[in-house]
Amino acid sequence: MFGKSIRIFSLFGFDVKVDISWLVLAFLITWSLAQGLFPYYFKDLSSATYWWMGIFGALGLFFSIIFHELSHSLVARNFGLPIKGITLFIFGGVAHMEEEPSSAKAEFMMAIAGPVSSIILGIALYALRTAGRIGNWPVPVTGVIGYLAIINWILAGFNLLPAFPLDGGRVLRSILWKWKQNIGWATRISSRIGTIFGFLLIAMGVIQFFSGNLIGGIWWFMIGLFLQNAARMSYQQLITRRALEGESVKSLMITDPVTVPPTITIKELVEDYIYKHHYKMFPVVDADKLVGCITTRQIRQVPKEEWQSKRISEIANTCSAENTIHPDTDVVKVLSLMNRTRNSRLMVIEGDRLLGIIALKDIMNFLSIKLDLDQYEE
């Protein structure tokens, strides 16, 4: 769903990141506020004033979305759900959950927290705008505060649509889950509703586009397309979790992995191992003791003229929680670690002993067979 993201700060233990796509959205919001909305509602201000209002309006929206997602994250933490962080991207923000909620109640409370927080923030901002008007604050200041009050209510209203994975869709899923005591069925129904809402937004976008509202039409179309894809992906992720539930690393790992000694050169590694076995990561073993690993990413950072003289012991990664896993670890957690670190192969260890390798390719092959045999409903 996301591309490259940049960590900007940490708040209450959560890393707050900005996806590169947010920069596009930030510019579009600032431009539309400075050239459209604020000049329309607040006449006879200078061009520079409109641009400053646009900048502060965009920043206010930025922090409003963080406040919304932070509310989700704090409630999730209260129910014992691990949250990796918050990422802002072109369609808003998302709190990254590493696992599904443990109960319908946890799902409901976590989902409703975001819209409620946005409504409360909107009320507080509206009260501040009213106080500013009474106190004769400058029009640009009360104008931006009023805009942020309204945009928080719009944010709450949009997220309350019963379209999974929006907050309203998660609320719906929690109700269905509580009713039938079946999270799979509840997710399937709410995801289908999310897909329908996505289709309606796409249709609205097409109508807007051909009615002359080009920018609005494109935005509605893109949001609808995103919602459709997100709804399908959310259900597929649940099916994946259920299929892999209870499977441990030791049942899927390769027990006789290809290893390399620390004394060979980079050139020998490339010619004798990488070109022969086609792996992107190799464990480095010295006298039956695992000392680290070497990846193609590291090799690319070394100039080719140094490959013949530089040994892999000089650039190999040491063993860490980023590239190793215990044999009893649940495979679902392995996928989460692979997704976070972008490592498609992890070393399976016990102490300083290498037991095997678990690869994303093997997990996906197992998943494909498991889904085919178990005939999970699409």
Q: Is residue 29 predicted with pLDDT exceeding 80?
A: yes
Q: Is residue 100 predicted with pLDDT exceeding 80?
A: no
CA distance 289 to 263: 14
* Half-sphere CA count of 105, side-chain side, radius 13 A: 3
Chain position carrying tokens 């996906």? 364
CA distance 333 to 282: 21
Residues contacting 45, CB < 8 A, separation 6+: 38, 39, 53, 139, 140
Q: List the domain boundaries for the chain.
A: 5-244, 249-374
The string over 215-241, giving b where at least 16 C-beta atoms fall within 10 Å of a residue's C-beta and e elsewhere, is eebebbbebbebbbebbbebbeebbbb
Chain position carrying tokens 């989460």? 336
* Straight-line distance from the first to the last Cα atom of the chain, in angstroms, rounded to the nearest whole number: 21
Q: Single out the residue of 192, 60, 44 nearest to residue 118, CA to CA.
A: 60
Whether residue 165 has a cis bond before it, omega within 30° of 0 = yes
Is CATH 3.10.580.10 correct for 249-374?
A: yes
The pLDDT of residue 258: 92
What's the whole-number mean pLDDT along residues 248-256? Answer: 90
Residues 180-190 pLDDT 10s: 888 888 888 88
Higher-confidence position of 133 and 373: 133
The pLDDT of residue 98: 63
CA distance 377 to 79: 29
CA distance 279 to 230: 32
Beta strands in the chain (DSSP E): 5-11, 14-19, 83-89, 92-97, 281-286, 289-295, 324-325, 345-350, 353-359
Residues 64-97 pLDDT 10s: 988 988 888 888 888 887 776 666 655 556 666 6
- Tell me the average pLDDT of the chain: 85
The pLDDT of residue 109: 92
Helix/strand/coil for 164 = coil
82: number of Cβ within 10 Å: 11
Higher-confidence position of 110 and 121: 121
CA distance 176 to 314: 56
Residues 5, 87: contact at Cβ < 8 Å?
yes
For the chain, give the number of residues: 378
Which amino acid would we find at residue 159? N
Q: Is residue 220 predicted with pLDDT exceeding 60?
A: yes
Supply the Cα-derived Rg of the chain in whole angstroms. Answer: 25
Name 265's bridge partners. 311
CA distance 316 to 301: 12
What's the whole-number mean pLDDT along residues 134-146? Answer: 94
The CA distances from residue 224 to 57, 186, 207, 319, in Å, are 25, 21, 13, 44
The pLDDT of residue 1: 43
Higher-confidence position of 192 and 235: 192
CA distance 171 to 374: 29
Q: Is residue 2 predicted with pLDDT exceeding 60?
A: no
Residues 279-315 pLDDT 10s: 888 999 988 889 889 999 889 999 999 999 999 989 9
User: What does DSSP say about strands 92-97 and 83-89: parallel, antiparallel, or unpaired?
Assistant: antiparallel
Residues 233, 208: contact at Cβ < 8 Å?
no
Name 7's bridge partners. 17
User: What does DSSP say about strands 83-89 and 14-19: parallel, antiparallel, or unpaired?
Assistant: parallel
90: number of Cβ within 10 Å: 18
